[in-house]
A and B are shown apart, each in its own frame.
Chain A
Amino acid sequence: MIKLSHIVKTYNPNTPQEVKALRDISLQINKGEIFGVIGLSGAGKSTLIRIINMLERPTSGQVEVNGQDLTNMSDNELRAARRHIGMIFQNFNLLSSATVRDNVAFPLQLARTQSKAEIDKRVTELLAMVELSDKADMYPAQLSGGQKQRVGIARALASNPEVLLCDEATSALDPKTTSSILALLTSLRRKLNLTIVIITHQMEVIKECCDRVAVIDNGMITELGSATEIFIDPKQALTKRLVSATVRRGLPELLRHTKVVSEYHEGAKAIIELLFLGPKADAPVIVDVAKECAVSISILSGSIDHIQNDPFGIIAVEIDGSRAEIERAIAAFKQRVHKVEVLGYDERKQLSEL
């Protein structure tokens, strides 16, 4: 649906202020997919999304949306093509001087292809879709942030686009409103067969609704994969850092003051992290392993979460027993859960024994 080939964007080329915003980005986004682009501020993600609808022209490279090459279009052709690419923004960018109804009608009025009655009918339909029918005659200043973004979504979808670009669309919203906007986007994707590109710095957004994710750093894509892959198995340091903001990984807080070493020594307990994913996530794994091997297992920390609708859990446990039994237990876990990681060994005493 969207194909970016070797996109380079350099601001102020050949001057001391030269900024290489994007360096050779190639990306393919499939039809009906919710694709997330995550990165820190200044990584180039805002430039990247503006390249897709040519609000920023790339210095070199090719942009193809729905089979059309946007890079070589005239201004007029480009304006026509943009009507098939909706966009929503962090600051909503609604006309403060126009009512909700007029804001949603705006792109249709710009296009000048429909009669006033047709536009009215379409606007009523769109407002119902985003559940704002009762706010039609209000001005944006009278709405909450979430409602403003709903108006933004209705406006972006007015001319039946195939693609919706979301530029930090939930960054100005509280977590609850963010979830409701993301739920709306997810349901619209299904209903309208939309392809959605989401730019964000919030890993939560990726976790809640994205199918695939690209991590962008310093103008380059450093990691690309399904949302699950990125969460479960982040490879790059930046990705790990981003993921750790929403999913706590590594040594549990409980062991903050405990000496943990990476090599086994006589009498040590093993600290391991278990990663549960999908249908296996609710199996009685810990009890099974404890029964099977001569070890005692204490849970140090744990959380069960969802990536889109797939449950996944991360549990850190401490295994006490002989070296052979500990190794057997680890092997048994490896068969049962998605991933097992040995975090280290310690000689911690149970809190209850102190």
Chain B
Amino acid sequence: MNASSFLNFDAWSRIGGLLWNASLETLYMVFVSSAVCIVVGVPLGVILLVTSKGYFWYSPRFYNVLAAVVNALRSVPFIILMVAIIPLTKLIVGTSIGTTAAIVPLTIGTIPFIGRLVETSLRTVPHGLIEAAQSMGASPWQIVRRVLIPEAMPELIQNFTITIIVIIGFSAMAGTIGGGGLGDLAIRYGYMRFRADVMISTVVILIAMVQIVQWIGDYLTRMCDHR
């Protein structure tokens, strides 16, 4: 990198185009994966909670099996998981290369993570509240829907924020196996072509994304926390 490359508007507009497209790809991956993760992860967390000891559908065998699967998936390093599930990715998306294909490992890698976080968040709801709801004739579903989730909302939002930030990180990794996005750009241009300006730009964009997600998360947490 030298001074002239920084002042070269032509080069910058080309890089700008690359960065813009890569950012959109990253946002697409992160958005879709986060949405799927939350949609699947919340019920997973709820099931983990209500089948654990002291809750209304306590079933040690079911809980232990589910918890073991969740733990196993969580222990596989993401980069290995990504490669290992290529056949599954092909089955679902039709290809194992590209942004949409990257969503499959991102989702599968993160669901156990968010499931556990949801379980822990819901566990912070005092048992007395469940008991109070039961004394008013609430059904298990009503307890989940109207007591556990609203009461744990601040923790849930904090944990969703953490999850989205983890997905942003993972999405950069997905770039290394042809997933596209900022990680892909950073590797191909920044690393392989020694383009420090590209490398720095991708890192700056990623930092900005993480910051914005954290700000939004913190704001929403404050909004729904009345304790």
Q: Are B137 and A97 in contact (CB under 8 A)?
A: no
Binds B, one of A106-114, A275-283, A290-298: A106-114
**Chain A interface secondary structure, helix, strand, loop or mixed?**
mixed
The interface size bin for chain A is 20 to 34
Q: Are B126 and A139 in contact (CB under 8 A)?
A: no
Q: Are B138 and A79 in contact (CB under 8 A)?
A: yes
Chain A residues within 8 Å of B98, by CB: none
Q: Are B131 and A95 in contact (CB under 8 A)?
A: no
- Quote the shortest CB–CB distance from B104 to chain A (angstroms): 35
Q: Are A110 and B226 in contact (CB under 8 A)?
A: no
* CB nearest to B153 among chain A residues: A97
Contact of B137 among A89, A111, A140 (CB under 8 A): A111
Q: How far is the CA of A89 from the CA of B132 in the complex (A)?
A: 8
Binds B, one of A80-88, A182-190, A222-230: A80-88
Q: Are A95 and B136 in contact (CB under 8 A)?
A: no
State whether A79 and B129 are in contact (beta carbons under 8 Å apart), knowing that A97-B151, A97-B226, A98-B150 are contacts in the complex.
no
Q: Are A110 and B126 in contact (CB under 8 A)?
A: no
* CB nearest to B131 among chain A residues: A55
Chain A residues within 8 Å of B136, by CB: 82-83, 87, 106-107, 110, 155, 159
Chain B residues within 8 Å of A322, by CB: none
Q: Are A110 and B138 in contact (CB under 8 A)?
A: yes
State whether A141 and B135 are in contact (beta carbons under 8 Å apart), knowing that A93-B129, A95-B129, A110-B146 are contacts in the complex.
no
Using a Cβ–Cβ cut-off of 8 Å, how many residues does chain B contribute to the interface with A? 21
Say yes or no for A301: interface residue by CB 8 A criterion: no
Say yes or no for A5: interface residue by CB 8 A criterion: no
Q: Are A97 and B135 in contact (CB under 8 A)?
A: no
Say yes or no for B147: interface residue by CB 8 A criterion: yes
Q: How far is the CA of A80 from the CA of B134 in the complex (A)?
A: 11
Q: Are A55 and B128 in contact (CB under 8 A)?
A: no
Q: How many cross-chain pairs have Cβ atoms below 8 Å apart between A and B?
A: 63
Say yes or no for B142: interface residue by CB 8 A criterion: yes
Q: Are A87 and B137 in contact (CB under 8 A)?
A: no
The winner among A87, A93, A97, A139 for most chain B CB atoms within 10 A is A97
**Chain B 207-227 against A: per-residue CB contact (8 Å), 1 yes, 0 no?**
000000000000000001011
In residues 88-143 of chain B, which contact A (Cβ within 8 Å)? 126, 128-129, 131-139, 142
State whether A139 and B129 are in contact (beta carbons under 8 Å apart), knowing that A82-B134, A107-B137 are contacts in the complex.
no
Say yes or no for A53: interface residue by CB 8 A criterion: yes
* CB nearest to B147 among chain A residues: A95
Chain B residues within 8 Å of A60, by CB: none
Q: How far is the CA of A83 from the CA of B131 in the complex (A)?
A: 14
**Chain A 51-91 against B: per-residue CB contact (8 Å), 1 yes, 0 no?**
00101000000000000000000000001111101110101
**Chain B 152-181 against A: per-residue CB contact (8 Å), 1 yes, 0 no?**
010000000000000000000000000000
Contact of A97 among B131, B142, B224 (CB under 8 A): B224
Q: How far is the CA of A155 from the CA of B146 in the complex (A)?
A: 15
Q: How far is the CA of A273 from the CA of B131 in the complex (A)?
A: 47
Chain B residues within 8 Å of A79, by CB: 137-139
A-B contacts, 21 of them at CB < 8 A, read: A55-B131, A79-B139, A82-B134, A82-B136, A85-B135, A87-B132, A87-B136, A93-B129, A93-B131, A93-B132, A95-B147, A97-B150, A97-B226, A98-B150, A107-B137, A110-B137, A111-B137, A140-B226, A141-B227, A159-B136, A165-B135
Known A97-B150, A106-B133, A141-B226; 19 more pairs at CB < 8 Å: A80-B137, A83-B137, A87-B132, A93-B126, A93-B131, A95-B151, A97-B151, A97-B153, A97-B226, A106-B136, A107-B137, A110-B133, A110-B137, A110-B138, A110-B142, A111-B137, A140-B226, A141-B227, A159-B136
B contacts, CB < 8 Å to A: 126, 128-129, 131-139, 142, 146-147, 150-151, 153, 224, 226-227
